[in-house]
């Protein structure tokens, strides 16, 4: 099966293949892991997250441009290669009740107010110091998971457009039957379709991953759990805590921006990082 990216921007002018005769691209996909507690934020120990997609550079095996001698002569030919992306783990809160904490300490809500859409019996705002408990329903857990699936899609599409596409181009050259005077000559031929040199292939992919992740999480804050409004907080029956249902309004950024949109936005900076001028 071929996935045509010929109309997409990226470091090659040809399409990326998932599979094919040479199995140039190997992907483990996304692995969903529901968890029973908030996920620590590796960038901020005092912050805990409803979900996190775990990507490290060790998950990636980039393609290589290697040559081997042609029997009976002094020329060389390109060897087939592959690019691999190991399974990406997505952690997200499972359904259930989860106390909201920061740095291991409980979070509190200062007041609870009447909601005109809920028959809760409140007629005025009730002040207090209520420990916040998120009531994550099955749809609420699915909402968090969808946010993590966006990250996983970002990484897979970036991989296909860069390392996967490069591996397919190297294999196309390997299967062409062409021979070359040297590896440098083979690289020159490959540069007709792969515009970034081999030493920058991984760098280019890692740049896209870093910038797209930062765009979603740090700059646009698409997966930041919004602080609930007082009228969306319910007092527990024993008045010891405040219960918050995980409505979509608390994660308003999920589904707002596609992977391709954010990757295209990141391309100019990554092109500059590897010195490529389209």
Per-residue pLDDT tens over the stretch 93-133: 999 999 888 877 888 877 777 666 555 566 778 888 888 88
Per-residue pLDDT tens over the stretch 133-148: 889 999 999 999 999 9
Per-residue pLDDT tens over the stretch 35-90: 999 999 998 888 899 999 999 999 999 999 999 999 998 999 999 999 999 999 99
Mean pLDDT along residues 228-253:
75
Question: Which value, in Å, is the radius of gyration of the alpha carbons in the chain?
Answer: 25
Backbone angles phi, psi at 181, to 5 degrees: -75, -25
Which pLDDT belongs to residue 237?
A: 57
Euclidean distance between CA atoms 131 and 83, whole angstroms = 48
177: which residues sit within 8 A by CB, 6+ positions away? 77
What tokens does 205 get? Answer: 């992919």
Euclidean distance between CA atoms 109 and 117, whole angstroms = 20
With both helix axes pointing from N to C terminus, report the angle between 165-174 and 183-190 in degrees, rounded to the nearest 10: 120
Per-residue pLDDT tens over the stretch 158-192: 999 999 999 999 999 999 999 999 999 999 999 99
- Strand runs labelled E in 82-216: 83-85, 88-93, 96-99, 101-102, 105-106, 108-112, 126-136
Structure-model confidence comparison of residues 236 and 126, the more confident one: 126
| 77 within 8 A of 70, measured Cβ to Cβ | yes
What are the residue boundaries of the structural domains of the chain, listed by start?
2-95+137-222+257-273
String of DSSP letters for 121-146:
---S-EEEEEEEEEEE-HHHHHHHHH
Mean pLDDT for all residues in the chain: 86
Which pLDDT belongs to residue 10?
A: 38
The reported pTM is 0.85
| 34 within 8 A of 217, measured Cβ to Cβ | no
């Amino acid at each position: 099966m071929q996935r045509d990216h010929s109309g997409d921007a990226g470091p090659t002018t040809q399409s990326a293949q998932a599979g094919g005769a040479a199995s140039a691209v190997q992907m483990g996909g996304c692995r969903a892991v529901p968890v029973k507690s908030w996920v620590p934020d590796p960038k901020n120990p005092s912050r805990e997250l409803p979900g996190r997609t775990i990507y490290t550079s060790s998950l990636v095996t980039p393609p290589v441009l290697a040559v081997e001698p042609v029997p009976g002569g002094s020329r060389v030919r390109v060897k087939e290669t592959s690019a691999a992306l190991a399974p990406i783990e997505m952690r997200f809160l499972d359904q259930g009740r989860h106390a909201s904490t920061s740095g291991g300490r409980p979070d509190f809500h200062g007041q609870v107010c009447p909601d005109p859409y809920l028959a809760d019996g409140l007629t005025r705002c009730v002040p207090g110091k209520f420990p916040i408990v998120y009531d994550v329903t099955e749809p609420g857990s699915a909402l968090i998971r969808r946010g993590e699936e966006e990250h996983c899609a970002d990484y897979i599409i970036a991989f296909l457009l860069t390392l996967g596409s490069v591996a397919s181009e190297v294999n196309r050259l390997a299967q062409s039957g062409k021979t070359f005077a040297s590896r440098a000559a083979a690289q020159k031929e490959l540069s007709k379709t792969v515009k970034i040199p081999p030493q920058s292939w991984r760098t280019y992919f890692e740049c896209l991953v870093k910038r797209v992740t930062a765009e979603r999480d740090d700059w646009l804050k698409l997966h930041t759990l919004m602080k609930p409004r007082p009228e969306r907080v319910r007092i527990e029956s024993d008045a010891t805590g405040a219960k918050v249902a995980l409505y979509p309004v608390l994660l308003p950024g999920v589904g707002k921006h596609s992977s391709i949109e954010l990757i295209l936005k990141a391309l100019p900076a990554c092109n500059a990082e590897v010195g490529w001028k389209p």
